[in-house]
């Protein structure tokens, strides 16, 4: 069960007033808030064990290294990859995708094809466009229907022996659609393609079992799942990561370095050049512990209930239209009200203390698909409440009165 008062007390920012009103934070799709234990983990690292990892024999360096590597163990336990060394720390989802799209370059020919979808975040579009520019390969896009779902019959037509990589998100950040990634992975593997799953939006909301999923790559960002910004991980299957060339060169990633030839360190270090973001890796581990203390199953059920409540409540606002109406959705609602500009509505609800996102949500192709400039997006976390949804609905009604 979710003990909402106890949970909210763990998040110091939720006690704030914004523009003189209690903060209603509905921009969790952009970044989640952080519980005090995560904030404390960062301070504790710098106050007590700050030291570089994997280097010195001295005590602090060993404490720092142990705490750093402990997070990799927590990720292994939480996401169930076959091996701990298949987890590479990155700055986040964006860097994970860029790492893969760059490192696969020698494996991609001019006649090859890369498939993405019409639901992708710019960070799962542009790195593949760059790969196609480097190699001459073709980018194909799975279109979406009016509900914001992938058109899987078109995917069947697009996929062929020329397909080398399929890269799709698990959950759409703009519309909330939960994509049929199991089916995509199975079909892609039949033609021998590698599959990258952008898990930025799934990790905070649902259980992800990497071995059961059987994707070849998976990326995520800590900051959307209660952790700090600037840290995340890339999962890759061991044999594939071993076959790929390094992404960054530098310290920590070499076995032997001399001017004639350098040999690379074993996984995961081969892909972790330079001093890592130690404090934030440690705090990421604390965030995973916090989520597990509450239980992802409880989080999922609570958010689902909140999504249903909010969907009904919002549809009571005259002229409100929801974009993204798939039966399988995470706790994200994108909408517009009549012909009011989302930015104008967003500015007014902000004055009333409610934080929603307005704009294209780094998914311009989706906005083009629906021929709109952008949407308002309310994205919920398990520390949000139905009372807060009511505050949003009232704020929207005020905005409508002021703007029309
Ligand atoms: C947020 C997000 C990204 C980018 O994540 P960063 O943390 O900015 O690197 C990519 N894909 C999706 C679906 C996202 O929601």
pLDDT of residue 354: 97
| Residues 197 and 78 reside in one and the same domain | yes
Cα(130) to centroid of ligand 1, in Å? 18
pLDDT of residue 404: 86
pLDDT of residue 56: 79
> 14, 35 in Cβ contact below 8 A?
no
| Residues 129 and 157 reside in one and the same domain | yes
Instruction: Please indicate, yes or no, if residue 118 is contained in any of the structural domains.
Output: yes
The Cα 362–Cα 342 span in angstroms is 15
| Residues 236 and 257 reside in one and the same domain | yes
Query: Nearest C-alpha to atom 12 of ligand 1 is from which residue?
Result: 200
C-beta 196 within 6 A of ligand 1: no
Average pLDDT over residues 167-190: 98
Instruction: Please indicate, yes or no, if residue 46 is contained in any of the structural domains.
Output: yes
- Boundary of a domain, candidates 241, 263, 292: 292
| Residues 387 and 266 reside in one and the same domain | no
Looking at residue 341, which CATH number applies to its domain? 3.90.1150.10
Cα(179) to centroid of ligand 1, in Å? 16
Mutate to test the pocket of ligand 1, among 28, 93, 170 (most ligand atoms within 8 A of CB): 93
C-beta 119 within 6 A of ligand 1: no
Bridge partners, residue 235, by sequence? 87, 218
Distance linking the first and last C-alpha atoms of the chain: 42
pLDDT in tens, 283-310: 999 999 999 999 999 999 999 999 999 9
Phi, psi of 394 (to 5 degrees): -60, -40
| Residues 43 and 162 reside in one and the same domain | yes
Instruction: Please indicate, yes or no, if residue 33 is contained in any of the structural domains.
Output: no
Catalytic-residue membership of 132 = no
Q: Tell whether the model's pLDDT for residue 193 goes beyond 90.
A: yes
Largest CA distance in the chain: 72
Instruction: Please indicate, yes or no, if residue 92 is contained in any of the structural domains.
Output: yes
Mutate to test the pocket of ligand 1, among 199, 221, 224, 381 (most ligand atoms within 8 A of CB): 221
> 150, 144 in Cβ contact below 8 A?
yes
As for how many domains the chain has, the answer is: 2
C-beta 117 within 6 A of ligand 1: no
C-beta 93 within 6 A of ligand 1: yes
| Residues 72 and 127 reside in one and the same domain | yes
Provide the domain limits for residue 83. 39-292
What is the residue-wise DSSP string for 224-273?
A: GGTS-TT-EEEEE-HHHHHHSPPSS-STTSEEEE-SS-EEEPPTTGGG--
pLDDT band with cut points at 50, 70 and 90 for residue 55: confident
For residue 394, cis peptide bond before it (omega within 30 degrees of 0): no
| Residues 157 and 242 reside in one and the same domain | yes
The Cα 270–Cα 347 span in angstroms is 46
C-beta 90 within 6 A of ligand 1: no
| Residues 385 and 281 reside in one and the same domain | no
Instruction: Please indicate, yes or no, if residue 34 is contained in any of the structural domains.
Output: no
| Residues 187 and 226 reside in one and the same domain | yes
Instruction: Please indicate, yes or no, if residue 32 is contained in any of the structural domains.
Output: no
| Residues 96 and 164 reside in one and the same domain | yes
* Tokens 């700090």 -> residue: 228
Instruction: Please indicate, yes or no, if residue 98 is contained in any of the structural domains.
Output: yes
CA–centroid distance for 188 within its chain = 22
CA-nearest of 158, 156, 125 to 362 is: 125
Give the whole-number percent of the chain exceeding pLDDT 70: 100
Cα(399) to centroid of ligand 1, in Å? 29
Catalytic member of 132, 220, 257, 362: 362
pLDDT in tens, 88-136: 999 999 999 999 999 999 999 999 999 999 999 999 999 999 999 999 9
C-beta 28 within 6 A of ligand 1: no
Looking at residue 112, which CATH number applies to its domain? 3.40.640.10
- Boundary of a domain, candidates 292, 310, 342: 292
- Boundary of a domain, candidates 292, 324, 339: 292
C-beta 92 within 6 A of ligand 1: yes
| 309 CB-near residues (< 8 Å, 6+ apart) | 386, 389
Which ligand 1 atom sits nearest the alpha carbon of residue 170? 13
């Amino acid at each position: 069960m979710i003990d909402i008062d106890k949970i909210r007390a763990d998040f110091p920012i939720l006690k704030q007033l914004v523009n003189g009103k209690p903060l209603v934070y509905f921009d969790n799709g952009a970044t989640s808030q952080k519980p005090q234990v995560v904030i404390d983990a960062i301070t504790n690292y710098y106050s007590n064990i700050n030291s570089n990892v994997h280097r010195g024999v001295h005590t602090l360096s060993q404490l720092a290294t142990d705490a750093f590597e402990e997070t990799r163990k927590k990720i292994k336990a939480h996401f169930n990859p076959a091996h701990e060394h298949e987890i590479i720390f990155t700055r986040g989802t964006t860097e994970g995708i860029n790492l893969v799209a760059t490192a696969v370059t020698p494996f991609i020919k001019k006649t090859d094809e890369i498939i993405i979808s019409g639901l992708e975040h710019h960070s799962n579009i542009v790195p593949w466009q760059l790969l196609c520019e480097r190699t001459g390969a073709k980018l194909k896009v799975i279109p979406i229907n009016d509900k914001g779902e992938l058109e899987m019959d078109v995917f069947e037509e697009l996929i062929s022996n020329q397909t080398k990589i399929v890269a799709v998100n698990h959950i759409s950040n703009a519309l909330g659609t939960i994509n049929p990634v199991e089916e995509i992975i199975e079909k892609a593997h039949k033609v021998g393609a590698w599959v990258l799953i952008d898990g930025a939006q799934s990790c905070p909301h649902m259980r992800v079992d990497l071995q059961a999923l059987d994707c070849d790559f998976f990326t995520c960002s800590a900051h959307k799942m209660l952790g700090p910004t600037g840290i995340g991980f890339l999962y890759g299957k061991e044999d594939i990561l071993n076959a790929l060339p390094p992404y960054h060169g530098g310290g920590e990633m070499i076995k032997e370095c001399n001017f004639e030839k350098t040999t690379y360190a074993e996984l995961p270090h081969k892909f972790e050049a330079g001093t890592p973001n130690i404090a934030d890796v440690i705090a990421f581990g604390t965030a995973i512990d916090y989520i597990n203390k509450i239980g992802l199953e409880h989080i999922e059920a609570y958010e689902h209930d909140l999504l249903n409540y909010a969907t009904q409540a919002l549809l009571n606002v005259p002229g409100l239209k929801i974009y993204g109406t798939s039966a399988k959705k995470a706790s994200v609602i994108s909408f517009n009200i009549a012909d009011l500009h989302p930015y104008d509505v967003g500015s007014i609800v902000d004055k009333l203390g409610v934080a929603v996102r307005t704009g294209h949500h780094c998914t311009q192709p989706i906005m083009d698909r629906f021929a709109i400039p952008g949407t308002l997006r309310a994205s919920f976390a398990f520390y949000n409440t139905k009372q807060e949804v009511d505050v949003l609905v009232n704020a929207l009604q005020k905005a409508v009165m002021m703007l029309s």
